């Protein structure tokens, strides 16, 4: 079938991440579905050997905590390379799991020797890393340091999803998938959907029909870029 227009990319990640990804793919419509809200929790009065960071937003939260005078450990276990880069820029000695929560668990099990760990986490998470670590004898305390508040789609994004041109949707988490599905249903979107999912769990959470589904070869931004680029090339060749 010959298409009238090339597909358009719609990015719904938080603004900073969306802007960076848009630059890498040569442009996109940006409509963040979540806005970080930082919290001010009291940290446990105990010493920690390392901190665990699962996102760049978590690093921002750690910066805010340090700015209040609280002392965080120098060592940080990070889920992926972007989080690791941000953590190093914040002054941490950061180690990257180069993947997802499973890879982060494996990294900590392999590298951690002694001492309590502090997980700075969002309010909503897909798994329970704290429980997983404690179950293997690595004492871990988690503190909720931010929440992601849902946001509605922008007028530009709504127009795109109510059109006839295919829309490439890079989706990075099950919660993002669920929020996006709810928004598409709310606006009665009918554009052909091309889903680029970070993982099978993300694809499963996207409970809408999609013309194309491509799961990233690895659960990281680089593999997602490859998946989206492949979709763009397919659109050009259609």
Domains along the chain with CATH numbers: 8-33+151-237 (3.40.50.10090), 36-147 (3.40.50.10090)
Each residue of 49-107: pLDDT tens digit?
Answer: 999 999 999 999 999 999 998 899 999 999 988 899 999 999 999 999 988 888 999 99
**Cα torsion angle, 109, 129, 207, 145, sign:** negative
| pLDDT score recorded for residue 3 | 45
| pLDDT score recorded for residue 30 | 98
Q: Note the Cα 237 to chain centre separation in Å.
A: 30
Confidence at 228, pLDDT banded by 50, 70, 90: very high
Q: What is the 3-state secondary structure (H, E, C) of 38-61?
A: ECCCCCCCCCCCEEEECCHHHHHH
Which runs of consecutive H residues, i.e. helices, occur in the chain? 15-25, 56-67, 81-89, 101-111, 129-135, 155-161, 174-186, 200-205, 221-237
| pLDDT score recorded for residue 142 | 95
Q: pTM of the predicted model, to two decimals?
A: 0.83
Specify the 3-state DSSP secondary structure of 117.
strand
Each residue of 124-161: pLDDT tens digit?
Answer: 876 799 999 999 999 999 999 999 999 999 999 999 99
């Amino acid at each position: 079938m010959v298409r009238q227009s090339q597909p358009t990319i719609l990015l719904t990640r938080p603004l900073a991440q969306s802007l960076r990804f848009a630059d890498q793919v040569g442009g996109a419509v940006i409509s963040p579905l979540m806005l970080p809200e930082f919290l001010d929790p009291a940290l446990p009065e105990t010493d920690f050997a390392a901190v665990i960071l699962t996102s760049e937003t978590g690093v921002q939260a750690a910066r805010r905590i340090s700015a209040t005078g609280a002392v965080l450990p120098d060592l940080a276990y990070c889920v992926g390379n972007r989080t690791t880069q941000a953590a190093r820029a914040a002054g941490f000695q950061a180690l990257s799991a180069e993947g997802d929560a499973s890879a982060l668990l494996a990294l900590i099990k392999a590298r951690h020797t002694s001492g309590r760990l502090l997980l700075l986490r969002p309010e909503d998470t897909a798994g329970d890393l704290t429980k997983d670590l404690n179950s293997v004898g690595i004492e871990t305390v988690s503190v909720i340091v931010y929440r992601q508040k849902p946001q509605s789609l922008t007028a530009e994004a709504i127009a795109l999803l109510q059109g006839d041109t295919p829309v490439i949707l890079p989706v990075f988490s099950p919660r993002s998938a669920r929020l996006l599905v709810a928004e598409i249903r709310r606006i009665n979107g009918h554009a052909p959907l091309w889903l680029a999912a970070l993982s099978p769990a993300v694809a499963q959470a996207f409970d809408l029909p999609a013309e194309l589904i491509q799961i990233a070869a690895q659960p990281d931004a680089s593999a997602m870029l490859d998946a989206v680029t492949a979709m763009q090339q397919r659109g050009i060749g259609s």
